Amino acid sequence: MNKFSSRLGFILTAVGSAVGMANVWGFPYKLQEGGLFFLISYIFFIALFSYVGLSSEFAIGRIAETGTIGSYEKAFESKNKNKKIGTFISMLPLFGLVLLTIGYAVVVSYIFKALFDSVTGSLMTNDVSIWYEDLSNKDYSVWPFHLAVIILTLINCLGSAKTLEKSSKFMMPAFFILFLVIAIKIITLPNALEGYKYMFRLDYDHLNIETLVSAMGQAFFSLSITGSAMMICGAYLHKDEDIIYSSKMTGLLDTIAAMVAALVMIPSVVVFSMDQAGGPGLLFQVLPTILQNIEGGRFFAIILYLAVLFAGISSLQIMFEVVVESLDYKFEKINRKLVLFVLAFFVFVVGINIEKISLWGPFMDMISIYIIPIGAMIGAVTWFYILDKKTLVDEINSGASKKYGDTWYNIGKYIYTPLVIIICILTIFM
């Protein structure tokens, strides 16, 4: 099996999988709403989830040396249980990831369209509300960009770990640099300081359990701990690499990505007295309006949407790889490239028929509210209640700079896993 050539390549690939729309439009909106209490809570949960949640998914992937299906089978085999149960259980997280891939490709197509219109200048001259109406409420409005996104993702997946690593080494640094350029520009705007003050305010009205739960859920989804995605990164990791260190670095860089996005989004909204917005509204309505009203707006629009496009493609390529590798594992004689092209065709054909936000929105809500949280809960329970404890801890200690034992494992079993279950229940019922 191909392996990552370096620790940096592994970390950047994992960060590429984690960094996405949760960072770009989810985190800024929730930070704007919850202030300093949200941020402190978020950092605490990111640290906890990176330490035990992310590391456990990396570990089982490296144990099994494969992705979703093989990881669940290995977990059940470690306790001398029927691996067919693991195969059956793995289907929900894997199916959820396939659906997520379809929906995610649509939003990345929107981003590509926004980038194209920034380059041509039409985004800077058209009425934003009309532009967004044409983008989101017409059938097949972005299909050429949709096709381009699928082709770019395909290219990045053809060489498995090697091409994933190479593309992530380019796209992730580019994402950080491009967003940093915009953040520096925002500092120069009149009254930008008021935006920063608003970000870090201590809002006593939001000093409550709702903000805490919001921070916990945001941290969880931001790290892409879905019970399916991150195992593939572990599968391509050498035995002498420190999993805990890599997990912490992934969490740190993911948090930095979210903060850089917030340093762009929140001061801009405050300076121009725009209404709070999250989701597509922030990226495709609020920000274009702001960019039309700042000097050099077209240039910064190109930088912004190029950075977000890199984040989107880097996440999509991991989603593709997870599905293809799982099928490759289960059906040994299957042609990997053929599976990759069939998957790409399926994602494209289904995706172009839900490009209207009235179809895409409910589709993504169904996935994010029900399927993904349940898949993540299945994963956490499997790693800490089904997988043999010694097998898991030994893998965590393979290549580690320090030894981990009962403390790490008990945090995972008695704190992390119950929190995942709580997140799942709250997401579904609230």
Residues 46 and 222: beta-carbon distance below 8 Å: yes
Q: What is the per-residue pLDDT across 202-249, written as a single tens digit (0 to 9) for each?
A: 988 888 888 888 888 888 888 888 888 888 888 888 898 999 999 999
Residues 251 and 258: beta-carbon distance below 8 Å: no
Q: Which of 59-73, 184-198, 266-280 has the lowest mean pLDDT?
A: 266-280
For position 269, what pLDDT does the model report?
82
Q: Is the pLDDT of residue 358 over 60?
A: yes
Q: Is the pLDDT of residue 1 over 70?
A: no
Residue 209: CB partners within 8 Å, gap ≥ 6?
A: none
For position 404, what pLDDT does the model report?
94
For position 381, what pLDDT does the model report?
95
Structure tokens at 60: 């089982």
Residues in the chain: 430
Structure tokens at 226: 């879905």
Burial class (CB in 10 A: 0-12, 13-18, 19+), 247: buried
Question: For residues 378 and 363, what is the distance between their CA atoms, to the nearest angstrom?
Answer: 22
For position 7, what pLDDT does the model report?
82
Residue 50 — very low, low, confident or very high, per pLDDT cuts 50/70/90? very high
Residues 161 and 373: beta-carbon distance below 8 Å: no
Residue of 290, 428, 277, 294 whose CA lies nearest to 365: 428
Q: Please give the average per-residue pLDDT across 393-411, as a whole number.
A: 94
Q: What is the per-residue pLDDT across 155-177, written as a single tens digit (0 to 9) for each?
A: 888 876 677 778 888 888 888 88
Q: What is the per-residue pLDDT across 287-346, written as a single tens digit (0 to 9) for each?
A: 888 888 888 889 989 998 998 898 889 889 888 988 888 888 888 777 888 889 999 999
Average pLDDT over the chain reads: 88
Instruction: Kindly calculate the radius of gyration of the chain based on its CA atoms and give it in whole angstroms.
Output: 21
For position 278, what pLDDT does the model report?
67
For position 110, what pLDDT does the model report?
95
For position 167, what pLDDT does the model report?
80
For position 161, what pLDDT does the model report?
67
Residue 298: CB partners within 8 Å, gap ≥ 6?
A: 118, 121, 123, 124, 291
For position 37, what pLDDT does the model report?
94
For position 232, what pLDDT does the model report?
87
For position 51, what pLDDT does the model report?
96
For position 243, what pLDDT does the model report?
95
Q: Which of 115-124, 197-206, 325-334, 344-353 has the lowest mean pLDDT?
A: 325-334
Provide the residue ranges of all domains of the chain, joining segments of one domain with +: 7-429
Q: What is the per-residue pLDDT across 252-298, written as a single tens digit (0 to 9) for each?
A: 999 998 998 888 888 888 888 777 666 788 888 888 888 888 888 89
Question: For residues 122 and 324, what is the distance between their CA atoms, to the nearest angstrom?
Answer: 38
CATH architecture of 7-429: Up-down Bundle (1.20)
Q: Please give the average per-residue pLDDT across 84-89, as a whole number.
A: 91
